[in-house]
Amino acid sequence: MDINEVELVLDSTAFSHEHHTRSSGLHLSNIIRSIEEDVYKMFKGEGLDPQALEAYRIGGFLFERALYDIILCDTAIQRIGEIDLNGIIMTPDAVNLSNARGIESKCTWRSMRHDVTDQTGEMAAWWMQMMGYAKALNMNRWDLYVFFMNGDYGKNRRPRLRHWEIEFTQDEVDNNWIRILNHAQWMKEAGKI
CATH architecture of the region 28-42+76-189: Alpha-Beta Complex (3.90)
DSSP of 127-168, one letter per residue?
HHHHHHHHHHHT--EEEEEEEETTTTSSSS---EEEEEEEE-
Which of 26, 73, 22 shows the shortest CA–CA distance to 186? 26
Dihedral sign (CA 192, 18, 168, 97): positive
Name the pTM for this structure.
0.86
- Beta carbons of 44 and 33 less than 8 angstroms apart: yes
Region 22-46: mean pLDDT is 77
What pLDDT is stored for residue 103 in this prediction? 97
For the ranges 10-19, 53-62, 147-156, which has the lowest average pLDDT? Answer: 10-19
CB neighbour list of residue 178: distance below 8 Å, 6 or more residues apart: none
Dump pLDDT digits (tens) for 87-132. 999 999 999 999 999 999 999 988 888 888 888 888 899 999 999 9
DSSP of 68-113, one letter per residue?
IIIIS--TTEE----EEETTEEE--SEEETTTTEEEEEEEE-S-TT
Q: What percentage of the chain carries pLDDT values higher than 70?
A: 89
Dump pLDDT digits (tens) for 1-27. 989 888 877 777 766 666 556 788 899
Dihedral pair phi/psi, residue 77, rounded to 5°: -90, 120
